Structure 1
C-alpha cells in the first residue's frame, strides 16, 4: 500500500460564477498537484463540497478527474453518507476505471452507536470492489469512530486498509497504532497535526492546504516519513499560520481564496458556504506570498 504513503490532497471543486462546475479550473488544479509532487489525489471528499453536488455532477467530476490524471497519480473517490443502503448502492455502481480506493466518512447526523458504525462499514466493505479507507471526523459527523471499532473493522475486513483520522485525539491515535493490524494505514486528516502523527507511525496526510501549497507540504511530509524531523520541523512551523488562515472562515473557502490568488481556479463556493471576507483574503494573500517567495 505504499501508493498511499505521503501526501494526498482532498481536491476542491472549482465553480464558475453561475455555480456550474469549472472544469478548466479543475484541470489546472489536478496538474498543479502533480507538478507539486504529491503522492495521490482524493476526488470529492468533504473539501470537494460533495454534499452540494448532484449525482450527475459527481459522476462527471470523477470521470473528468480520472481522464486528466491519466494514471499519473493514484486516485481515491470520496463516497459517503448517512444512509447505508444508498452509500452501498453508490459504491456498487461506481465506475472504478482510474481509481484505486474509496474514502468513506462515518455517518453524520444519525449519531449511530459503535455497533451501528461497524455495521455501516461492514456493508460498505461488502459492496466495494476496491480498497476502503475509513474517515473519522467527529467535528462534522457528531460521532466518533472509537479506536476499538476502527481496529475491529481493520481486523475483520481485509479490504478496509486504513483510516483518515481527523479526531484530533492523540490518545485515540496511540490506541489505533498499538492495536491495529501491521499493514493497516493510519493517515492524518488534519494538516496541523500531520507531523506529530507521523512520529507515532502515521503514513502521511490527506490534506486541505496541499491544494494551494502542494510542494511545500509534500516536501515536509516526505522528510518526516524519512525520520528527518530536524529538517521537517521548520517547514511544519512555516505552514502553521497559513493553515490557521485556511480554516478561519471554513473549508474550502480559505483554500479557494489562495488558489484564486495563485491563478489556479476561482474562489466560488456553493451555498450555504460563502467566500472569505476581504480581511481574511488579504491575510491569506500575504501569508501565501511569505511562503512562496
Structure 2
C-alpha cells in the first residue's frame, strides 16, 4: 500500500467533535452547522472533526455524512485540518464511508473500533487496513470501550500501526490516565496520541499528548484552545486554571448520553435548538440532568440567564 497523501503532523491541539445541528423534523440544520463551525474556528481551534459520535453519525445516512463533511470542508477553507469520522462494525461499509470522506475533502479519518462484533486483533488489523487503503488519508484509531465493548490495548494499537502504514495515531477514550502513560512512553516517535476524554485532556497533554478531540470545545472553543496553547507554551498555571474552570461542564456533558447534554448546552447558550434523531430524546424541563448541566454552564461563565428556546 502507498503512504497516505495527507501530512498528519498538522493534527494537534483542540479539535472539536462537531455536533450535527438538526431541525425539529430531524433533518440537518445546514445554517446552524455553518454557524457552529465558523464559531469554533473564530475561537482558535486547531482542527475540526465532523461526523463522529458527537455528530450523531450512527443515525446519519452515508449520503448525509458525505454532505456534512463536504460542507464543513467548504466552511473551513483550509484554515485547519478536517478529520472526518468514518466508523461502524461492517468493514466494507466503513471503507466506503472513509473513501467518501476523502473524496469530500477530509484531511484525515477518525475510525472507531468496530462495536458489537468485538473482533480479534487480526480482525482489527485487517479492518483498519481496508479503511486506510480506501481513504488514502491518515487514519486515527478511536478507542472507546464504553461504547463499543472492545478495548484496544496499547500493544494492539501499536501492532495495528506497525501493520498499517496509514494509521498515524489514536483517540484514546478508555477513561484511564495510566493508559496515556503507557501509550506515550512506548509509542513510535511519529505516532499521535489524542485524548478522547475532555476531563483527561489536561494531564494527557501535560504528559506529551498532541491534543484532544473534544466535546466541550463545542461550548467553550476559546478556553479549550487557550488551554492547549498554554500547555504547549509552558504556561502550566494558566492551562490548569482553564481546565479546572471547565471541569464541571466536561462532566455534565456526560450526565446522560452524548451528545444530548452538549446540544442542550448549545441551546441554553442561544446557539442552536437541541433536536435529535431517535433513539436519542431531549432533556425535559425539571430533569435533574438539565439542572446539573445548567449549573455547570453558569459556574463556568458560559451562560448568565437561562431561557430554553422553544421546541
Specify the TM-score bucket, using the shorter chain as the normaliser.
over 0.9
Task: Report the equivalent of 1:189.
Answer: 196
Q: CA deviation at 1:16?
A: 0.4
Q: Give the structure 1 partner of residue 307 of structure 2.
A: none
State which drifts further: 185-194 or 72-81.
72-81
Residue in structure 2 matched with residue 287 of structure 1 by the alignment: 296
- Please identify runs of 4+ aligned residues in structure 1 that moved more than 4 A: none
CA RMSD in angstroms comes to 1.6
Matched, 1:4 2:16: no
- The residue number in structure 2 matching 1:263 is 270
Instruction: Report the count of equivalent residues.
Output: 293
In the other structure, the counterpart of 1:39 is 46
Runs of 5+ unmatched residues, structure 1: none
Matches of 2:292 and 2:109 in 1, distance apart?
A: 35
Q: Deviations over 1:202-221 (max 9, x none)?
A: 11100001111101111112
Does residue 239 in structure 1 map to residue 219 in structure 2?
Answer: no
Task: Give the aligned partner of residue 147 of structure 2.
Answer: 140
Deviating more after overlay: 282-291 vs 210-219: 282-291
Farther off after superposition, 282-291 or 152-161 = 282-291
Residues 240, 276 of structure 1: alpha-carbon distance in 2 compared, 3 angstrom cutoff: same
Q: Secondary structure in 2 aligned to 1:247?
A: coil
Distance 2:243 2:174 in 1: 20
- Give structure 2 stretches of 5+ with no counterpart: 1-7, 303-311
SS of the equivalent of 1:236 reads: helix
Q: Give the secondary-structure state (helix, strand or coil) at the position aligned to 1:65.
A: helix
Conserved? CA contact 1:76–1:99, under 8 Å: yes
1:101 and 1:132 in contact (8 A); partners too: yes
- TM-score, length basis structure 2: 0.89
Match for residue 78 of structure 1?
85
For 2:4, the equivalent position in structure 1 comes to: none
Single out whichever of 22-31 and 222-231 deviates more from structure 2. 222-231
1:129 counterpart = 2:119: no
What residue is the counterpart of 1:48 in the other structure? Answer: 55
Q: CA deviation at 1:240?
A: 1.1
Q: For residue 272 of structure 1, report the CA deviation from its aligned partner.
A: 0.8
Preserved CA contact (<8 Å) 1:26 1:265: no
Aligned-residue offset at 1:138: 0.4
Decide which of 208, 214, 229 is 2:215's aligned counterpart. Answer: 208
Contact 2:128 2:164 in 1 (8 A): no
Give the Cα–Cα distance (whole angstroms) in 1 for the partners of residues 200 and 182 of structure 2.
16
Greater mean deviation of Cα atoms: 89-98 or 207-216: 89-98
Give me the whole-angstrom Cα distance separating, in 1, the residues matched to 2:45 and 2:186.
Answer: 29
User: CA–CA distance in 1 between the matches of 2:189 and 2:62?
Assistant: 36
Query: 1:164 Cα shift?
Result: 0.4
Equivalent residue number for residue 171 of structure 1: 178
Q: What do the CA deviations read for 1:243-271 (whole angstroms, capped 9, x no partner)?
A: 11111012111111111122221111111
